[in-house]
Amino acid sequence: MADYYGQQHTQHQHQQLNPVQQPRSHQMVKAATAVTAGGSLLVLSGLTLAGTVIALTVATPLLVIFSPVIVPAVITIFMLVSGFLASGGFGVAAISVLSWIYRYVTGKRPPGADQLEHARHRLATKAGEMKDRAQEFGQQHVTGTQQG
């Protein structure tokens, strides 16, 4: 009887280690699919590498011949495009800031207006505190010079 329970316990542990046993044909199909997909991608990778090497071999003499013209042209085009993009970006930023200020001044409460009011209030409070400290310091300094 103990032997029977021992066998059941061993079978139960074996089932827990391999919970899903797939049929061999299903495993073979998965392996064939993986090999086919991997092989196809490997062939495409090789063809791409070969095409790149051939294109570089053909283009190198042309690049060497035309480099005195191509390099300055590429630099000029890059600078022009960068300038136009920066100009456009700064223009959009300026328009959005002016629009925000207009909405704030007209009382329409744009996003962030509450934070601005809070910061302005804190600055005013700190400025008042600093003014009071300066007055106290000035009074102490005047009082100290009169006593000395």
Among the listed ranges 22-31, 93-102, 110-119, 138-147, which one has the minimum average pLDDT value?
138-147
Do the domain assignments include residue 61?
yes
Domain holding 38, by residue range, is 29-67
Among the listed ranges 6-20, 79-93, 107-121, which one has the minimum average pLDDT value?
6-20
pLDDT at residue 9, as a whole number: 52
Residue of higher predicted confidence among 119 and 19? 119
Over residues 69-112, the pLDDT tens digits come to 888 999 999 999 999 999 999 999 999 999 999 998 998 889 99
Query: Do 80 and 46 reside in the same domain of the chain?
Result: no
Cα gap 92→73, rounded to integer Å: 28
The answer to whether the CB of 99 falls within 8 A of the CB of 106 is no
Query: Do 76 and 102 reside in the same domain of the chain?
Result: yes
Do the domain assignments include residue 91?
yes
Residue 131 scores a pLDDT above 80: yes
Query: Do 43 and 62 reside in the same domain of the chain?
Result: yes
Query: Do 92 and 107 reside in the same domain of the chain?
Result: yes
Do the domain assignments include residue 4?
no
- How many distinct structural domains can be found in the chain? 3
